[in-house]
Amino acid sequence: MTGTVSAEIPVSADSRPRHVAIIMDGNNRWAKARRLKGVAGHRAGVDAVRAVVETCAREGVEVLTLFAFSSENWRRPQDEVSALMKLFLFALEREVRKLHRNDIRLRIIGDRSAFSPALQEHMEAAEELTRNNARMTLVIAANYGGHWDITQATRQVAEKVRVGQLAPSDITDDLIQQHLSIGDLPMPDLMIRTAGEQRVSNFMLWQLAYTELYFSPVYWPDFQEEEMRKALQAYAGRQRRFGQTDDQIAAKAIQQ
């Protein structure tokens, strides 16, 4: 669903999502519309990341997950991939201390083995620096795919069965969820995708089972504070049912 809700109305604490996940789409199209190279769109996208992180932190969002680089993005032109890797490294070096000053913890999920040793070292250093921060957790999904996440979780569980730590009958939804990349964090309440596309593109497939979806026509570099607030307002107007009927939801509200 797209949203046209005014961004001026404050979002109350009881209608605020704990976890927001975003597919940041439209950098290349933003650049093309301005007759710029694709990397210019990705650079502009970093500014949008900064604005959205600051807005979510101010609004009391506990977890913000950004889909930065999918496992399918390696199929893009080599010069674009190389530019993205350089930009990722530059952004880590430039932004991590600001995150730390603002008490924001950084987590990076995905298969790091394909990244250069230098980039992996910067990832580890950034996570270590911010490990004890508590205002908000910023999760960056890099070389990440939902299929990969479920597969790596399944392998961990299978290994525990193999060595006798678990019996097959011990395997439950909750157990598999605990072995996902962010199994220790709340599941996403709101998933945003920018640039008009309406699909999840192999992003957090397990975790999005009951997530509210919000699709914005705005290209990612233009998705700044106002657009983020529109998304939060749209979420505040949703009724999350988790399989229940309207009457059940109403009865629960009365009991509370």
The residues annotated as belonging to the active site are 25, 73
Structure tokens that stand for 210 in this block: 């009951």
In single-letter form, the type of residue at position 212 comes to: E
143 is in an annotated binding site: no
27 is in an annotated binding site: yes
71 is in an annotated binding site: yes
* Interatomic CA distance for residues 108 and 130, integer angstroms: 12
16 is in an annotated binding site: no
102 is in an annotated binding site: no
243 is in an annotated binding site: no
26 is in an annotated binding site: yes
76 is in an annotated binding site: yes
Rg (the chain; Cα; Å): 19
237 is in an annotated binding site: no
227 is in an annotated binding site: no
* Interatomic CA distance for residues 71 and 42, integer angstroms: 17
Cβ distance 231 to 3 under 8 Å?
A: yes
The helix or strand, by DSSP H or E, that contains position 51, with its residue range, turns out to be helix 38-58
42 is in an annotated binding site: yes
63 is in an annotated binding site: no
* Interatomic CA distance for residues 104 and 50, integer angstroms: 12
* Interatomic CA distance for residues 127 and 100, integer angstroms: 10
Cβ neighbours for 124, distance < 8 A, ≥ 6 positions apart: none
> What's 154-222 look like in SS3?
HHHHHHHHHCCCCCHHHCCHHHHHHCCCCCCCCCCCEEEECCCCCCCCCCCCCCCCCCEEEECCCCHHH
220 is in an annotated binding site: no
**Annotated binding site for Mg(2+), which residues?**
25, 212
**Annotated binding site for substrate, which residues?**
26-30, 42, 70-72, 74, 76, 193, 199-201
**Annotated binding site, which residues?**
25-30, 42, 70-72, 74, 76, 193, 199-201, 212
